[in-house]
Amino acid sequence: MKKLAGTQWGADLKVLRNLYVGRIRPVLEYGMAATSTAAKSHTDKLSRVQNQAMRMMTGAMRSTPISTLESATGLQSIEERRDIKLLTQAAKFKRLQDYPMHQRMSQPLKRRLKRSSFLEQSQVLEKRHPELLDHVPKPIQQVKTVLPWERSRLPTICMEVPGMISKDSQSDIERKALTLEHINPKYPESQWTHIYTDGSAAEATSNGGCGVYIRYNDGEARFAKAAGKYSTNFRAEMEAITTAVTELRANLMRVKPKAVIFTDALSVLSKLRNPRQKDLGALEAALTNLTAVKDLTLQWVPAHCGIHGNEEADHLAKEAGQLEQNDKQVSYSEEKAIIKSLLRRKWKQQHPDFNKTDSYHHLSRPDQVIVLRLRTGHNRMNSHMYKKFKIALATHDYILRVVPTVYEDKRGNIRYPFQYTYSYRDMMQMGHGGRMMPAIWFRYELSPITVRYVEKSKPFYTFLVM
């Protein structure tokens, strides 16, 4: 990372972050659940590596607070990552019924005065998140329901709509038009039974609901079903498709020889295509049962773009989420998603300044370094001003927004020493001994400006008039 970044040149924050997350952090986290009982003096060494990496990513000064670096990079601390790994491993042990650690997870602790254990630490973390204690572990399926030579009986899966690109690049009207232009000639209602499914969960991890909208030969049918108290969006979408297939199998006389299920659950369709997955056993069994008597196709459609059937299913899914939830079972994959969501939500509460869409991320490397140092107040000019005048520099809250033309001297008197005639090449040296005052002390009206900080042998601010 040192070779790729400098304060005046090099890769930007996004590239350096991807390098760290993809190549360096996995090495730090290897076997983290097993080494969670190590002494803090040993685990702190890993934290120091991440702190050093964040300084390289941002170009921040060594005195910059770690929490500020985490807000700028969006990285969780090594301690929080360790908690996620530990809780995830404990959840896996609870769902492996034939594994020796499965029985240990429900046994009382064997406490020792100076030594901790994996079991003790996992229980302490679970008590910090009481919602995890209410989960009923669902055993991990070890054997596939549909054997490899039976996968040919699964329905056709179409995951694309011709002409469809990213959501940010197309309007909802364009996406709807492209979808209907693809659906109407390929799946005419005179030959195909149309089924729309959708699933949703509150905050993507609780109170799931699934909705199904079917256009039979003799009319329409709507179904709203609760998916579970601790259901994820993925599980709700999967349950919606399973419910639709079950209803079709029970009403074969009302179904045309061909049927197509429209869903916006791209993740479910993608997983169905994976021959190694074991989490969709019930759905695969229902699909192979229906394809034995009907020609079935699963077609992806974009969500929330005004397609009537999809909007109907979405409305039913939200209604189902309000129903009474009796199922508290949680699979291993769902538990992992819930654990990550809980700790990520906690991290966002501790880092309110984090903004994923901040325009700071679109700047060049030198500008990113400049802006971050101005925002944090940890820069070379601040150090110089403190050494020379024993005062703190003005904070970025108004340095980046207004011209600091007014200041308070050492005796508390308000001074107006500067005029408003600075051009692009003019520089103003901040060599007075007073404290910069906020914008409310402005004497004259000013046009909006941008401030660029330039590090040279002497401290200067350059004011560029827009």
Gap between the Cα atoms of 254 and 116, Å rounded: 63
- The answer to whether the beta carbons of residues 99 and 332 sit under 8 Å apart is no
pTM metric for this prediction: 0.74
Gap between the Cα atoms of 68 and 51, Å rounded: 11
Question: What pLDDT shows up at residue 415?
Answer: 52
Mean of the pLDDT values across residues 137-162?
85
C-beta neighbour count of 123 within 10 angstroms: 14
Mean of the pLDDT values across residues 427-444?
34
Higher pLDDT, 95 or 281: 95
Looking at 37-41, 127-131, 377-381, which range is the least confident one?
Answer: 377-381
Confidence band for 390, pLDDT divided at 50, 70 and 90: low
Alpha helices in 377-449 (DSSP H): 380-389, 396-399
> Of 24, 19, 14, 85, whose CA–CA distance to 50 is shortest?
24
Question: What pLDDT shows up at residue 36?
Answer: 87
In the sheet that 407-408 helps form, which strands lie side by side, from edge to edge? 414-415, 407-408, 435-436
What does the DSSP assignment read for 44-88?
HHHHHHHHHHHHHHHT--TTS-HHHHHHHHTPPPHHHHHHHHHHH
Gap between the Cα atoms of 13 and 15, Å rounded: 6
- The answer to whether the beta carbons of residues 227 and 242 sit under 8 Å apart is no
Confidence band for 131, pLDDT divided at 50, 70 and 90: confident
- For 148-327, CATH gives 3.30.420.10
Q: For residue range 270-294, list pLDDT tens digits in order.
A: 999 888 887 888 899 899 999 999 9
Domain parsing of the chain, residue ranges: 2-139, 148-327, 379-465
